[in-house]
Structure 1
Amino acid sequence: MTRSDLVGLQDHLTDSDLQLLRDADKYRLLTTSQIQRLYFDHARPTPVAAARACNRTLARLRRLHILKALERRIGGVRAGSAGFVWYVGPAGDRLLRLLEPAAGRGRRNYREPSRYFVDHTLAIAELAVQTIEAARSSDVEIFDLQTEPDSWQQSLSPRGTVQWLKPDLRLVTANGDYEYHWFLEIDLATEHAPVVLRQCLAYQSFRATGRYQATHDTFPVVVWVVPDEHRRQQLRGWIDADGRLDPRLFTVITANDFLDLIRSGGHDTFTNPGGGQKGGTTS
C-alpha cells in the first residue's frame, strides 16, 4: 500500500476505529467479547444492540484488513463470531506505522501463535478490561495502565549491566484519597517453582535498586493472579518457604478475586501478613 492508499484508508475510519486499532496493538490479542465491553456495551442501550454494533464494526475492519482473526476460535466453530480472537492486520500495521512513525515498530509476525501465548495474552487483556470497566462504574480511578513492553522497568545490576524487569501489567489506580501501584503477573498454572521463584527474586532485586521508589515514592505490590485456589495455595507456599524472599512483597489471588483487590486497594482480605500496604511498599 502506498502512502496515499493509507491516507485514503484512514479517511474511512472513525476515531473509535482508530482507538480500537491502537488497543488491538497494545493488548496484541482481544476477543470479540472484550472488544464489545471496551467499546460498545457502555454506548448502546442493550447488550443485543451492543453485540450487533460490535460485529458490524469488526466485520468492516476485517474487510479493510485493519484487523484479522486467528483461525482458532475460543469455544470452537460453534461459538460463531463471538469466538473470534482479533489482532492487528497488515493494513492496520501499516497505518500505525504512518500515524506513529516514532514508535519504532518491529516487523509483525502473522503466524498462528501457540495456545499458551493466546491464553496468557488474553488473560492479561481480561484484567485490563475489567479494570477499565471498574473505572467506568466509578469503583476506581485509573492513573496508568501499561502492557508490555511499556510496563518493563530498567535498572542496573550490581555489576553495572542493564537489566529488565518485565511485568505482564503495571497499574496505578486510586480509591478515595489513596493511590495504589501494582505489578501484575498472570500465572496459568503451567510454570514450576524455580521459574516462579526466579521471577519473585527479580522483583525483589528491582525493589532493592530504589529506582521505582525514587520516581514514585513507593514500590508496587506484586500480585500473582492464578486460576484457582489450589494454585493460589501452591504459589503462596513456595514464596513463604523460600528464605531468600520477603513474602510481604507478594500477594497471590485467584482471577475471580482480582476486581475486589483493585477496588479495596489491598484490603486485609487479600494482602499477606505484614504486606500489601496502601500505595505499595515503601522499603
Structure 2
Amino acid sequence: MGAALSERDWAILRSVDQHRFLTVRQLHDLHFNELSPVSGLRISQRALARLRQWRVLGTLERRIGGLRAGSSGLVHYVDVIGDKLLRTETGRPVRRRYTAPSRTFLDHTLAVAESHIGLITAHLHGKLEVLRSEVETAAWRTYQGIGGALLTLRPDLYMETAGSVGGEMVSTWFLERDMGSESIPTLVKKSREYASYRSTGIEQEHSGGSFPLIVWCMTATRAATAEQRRSDLRSRIERDARLPAELFRIISPNQLIELVQRGGDL
C-alpha cells in the first residue's frame, strides 16, 4: 500500500499523525495551498476521499459546522492502514488505538493545529520564517523538580521563527491555546510550571542562554468573555512575584502572526 501513496499522500498522513485531528480546510491549507481556492478544494477533497477509501485516514462522526457542512466539515484521523504504514516507516512497535475524542479535547486540538498551520501558511507566503516547530507531545519537556521528582512541561506548541524570511533575529516560543474552559487560577498554575522549568536552566543550555517567550493565545465563546479573561490573566501574572511577567504574551488568536513577525512586541 505504501508504494501506492504519492509524496503528497505521505505528507498528508504525517500531518494528521502529528496533529491527531485535522479538518479538510486545514489539510487544504497545508498541502494544496499552491492551487486556486476552487480547484484546490476540489482536488484536496478527491485526494482525501481516496485516502479514506484505503483506510489510510478515517473521519469522526461529528463534523465541524454540522451535517450541512458536507464533506468540507469532515475531521480526519489516522486509520488502521495509515497507522500500519507509519509504524513500518518509523519502527514504532505499538499500534495507536483510535478513541472518539470529547468535544472539549477535539476543539482544543483543532485550535492548536489552527495556530500551527496559520504560522506555516504565513511562512509559505513569505510573511515570516518558521525554522522549527513541534506540536504537543513533541514539544513537551521532561525535567527534575524539587526533590528529584520527574516532571513534564506540556506546551501545546514550540516554535523557532524569524520575523521575516532570512531574518537574522530568531525567536523561540512556547504556545498555549486556551478555549475559555479552564479557570484563571489554573492558567496561573500552568504559568508557574513554565517559571519552574525556566529555573532549571535546561532550555537555556540548548538555546544560547535564552528562554522562549510563553504565549497564551486565548479565546472563548463570546468575544467579551475572551477579552476579560485575557485581562484577568495578564493582571494575575503581573501581580505574582513568582512569575517573570516579561516572558509572557497574552493575545487573541488573530494577533499571533503579528506577534511572531515583531519578535514578541505588540
Q: Which residue does 1:98 correspond to in 2?
A: 88
How far 1:256 sits from its partner (Å)? 1.2
Alignment counterpart, residue 193 of structure 1, candidates 156, 159, 184:
184
Does the 8 A contact of 2:184 with 2:232 survive in 1? no
Q: Which residue does 1:210 correspond to in 2?
A: 201
Match of 1:181, SS state, is strand
Alignment counterpart, residue 211 of structure 2, candidates 219, 236, 252:
219
CA distance, structure 2, for counterparts of residue 137 and residue 11 of structure 1: 31
Match of 1:123, SS state, is helix
Alignment counterpart, residue 159 of structure 1, candidates 147, 153, 173:
147
**Deviations, residues 229-275 of structure 1 (Å, cap 9, x unaligned):** 222112212222323222112110001111111111112x2xxxxxx
Q: Which residue does 2:32 correspond to in 1?
A: 40
Does the 8 A contact of 2:134 with 2:157 survive in 1? yes
CA distance, structure 2, for counterparts of residue 204 and residue 90 of structure 1: 40
For 1:47-66, list aligned pairs within 5 A: 47-66=37-56
Match of 2:160, SS state, is strand
CA distance, structure 2, for counterparts of residue 231 and residue 55 of structure 1: 38
Answer with 127-136 or 159-168: which moved more: 159-168
Alignment counterpart, residue 146 of structure 1, candidates 124, 134, 139:
134
Q: Which runs of 5+ in 1 are unaligned?
A: 1-8, 270-283
Percentage of pairs with the same residue: 39
CA distance, structure 1, for counterparts of residue 261 and residue 247 of structure 2: 19
Q: Which residue does 1:277 correspond to in 2?
A: none
How far 1:22 sits from its partner (Å)? 0.7
How far 1:194 sits from its partner (Å)? 2.5
How far 1:74 sits from its partner (Å)? 0.5
How far 1:170 sits from its partner (Å)? 0.2
Match of 1:87, SS state, is strand
Q: For residue 204 of structure 1, what is the amino acid of its counterpart?
A: A
**Deviations, residues 198-233 of structure 1 (Å, cap 9, x unaligned):** 111100011100001011121000000001322211
How far 1:15 sits from its partner (Å)? 1.0
Q: For residue 82 of structure 1, what is the amino acid of its counterpart?
A: S
Match of 2:241, SS state, is coil
Q: Which residue does 1:234 correspond to in 2?
A: 232
Match of 1:207, SS state, is helix
Match of 1:25, SS state, is helix
**Deviations, residues 125-163 of structure 1 (Å, cap 9, x unaligned):** 001111111111112111110012110112211312322
Alignment counterpart, residue 109 of structure 1, candidates 91, 94, 97:
97
How far 1:53 sits from its partner (Å)? 0.4
Q: Normalising by structure 1, what TM-score? A: 0.87
CA distance, structure 1, for counterparts of residue 137 and residue 100 of structure 2: 21
Q: Which residue does 2:264 correspond to in 1?
A: 266
How many residue pairs match? The answer is: 256
CA distance, structure 1, for counterparts of residue 107 and residue 62 of structure 2: 12
Q: Which residue does 1:16 correspond to in 2?
A: 8
Alignment counterpart, residue 70 of structure 2, candidates 74, 80, 89:
80
Does the 8 A contact of 2:83 with 2:95 survive in 1? no
Q: For residue 236 of structure 1, what is the amino acid of its counterpart?
A: R
Alignment counterpart, residue 18 of structure 2, candidates 9, 17, 26:
26
CA distance, structure 2, for counterparts of residue 170 and residue 128 of structure 1: 9
The reply on whether 1:169 has 2:157 as its aligned counterpart is: yes
